[in-house]
Amino acid sequence: MHPRLLLRENLELFSSLLGFRMEEALELCKTLGLDGHLEKRFSELSHGNKKKAEILLALLGEPDIILMDEPLVSLDYVSRVALLGLLRRMKGKKTFLVVTHFPELLRGLCDRTFKMEDGKLTEIT
Give 36's DSSP letter: G
DSSP helix/strand/coil, 27: helix
pLDDT computed for residue 125 by the predictor: 74
Closest CA to 56 of 44, 77, 38, 40: 38
CB 10 within 8 A of CB 2: yes
Query: CATH homologous superfamily of domain 7-124?
Result: P-loop containing nucleotide triphosphate hydrolases (3.40.50.300)
CB 52 within 8 A of CB 82: no
CA distance 16 to 109: 31
Q: What is the pLDDT along the chain (125 residues), one digit of tens a residue?
A: 999 999 999 999 999 998 888 999 999 999 999 999 999 999 999 999 999 999 998 888 778 898 999 988 888 899 889 889 888 888 888 888 999 888 888 878 888 888 889 999 999 87
Segments making up each domain of the chain, as ranges = 7-124
pTM for the whole structure: 0.80
